[in-house]
Amino acid sequence: MKLNTNISLENVMTIIVLIGSMTLAFGFMKAEINYIKDTLELKVDKEVIELKLDIIHAELIDLKEMIIEKENQ
């Protein structure tokens, strides 16, 4: 049995297309991972800001109550 060891244009094109598609697939995965990472960072930042605003709001309510108590005395 003799194997055909000639490299044809179709084989070269197939290899090029496979390498190109793998490169694109990995590129898109990397882009998607970066997008998810950026989105999570924005959510974390938003949660920290909301927590700080809640704390400031609670302190303002306490100050308001203290002012009202002093006015009543």
The 10s digit of each residue's pLDDT in 23-46 is: 999 888 888 888 888 888 888 788
With bands split at pLDDT 50, 70 and 90, how would you rate the model's confidence at 72? confident
Does the pTM surpass 0.85? The reply is: no
Q: What is the pLDDT of residue 34?
A: 86
Please check the confidence at residue 22 and state whether its pLDDT lies above 90: yes
CA distance 69 to 72: 5
Q: What is the pLDDT of residue 57?
A: 93
Tokens of 24: 């694109």
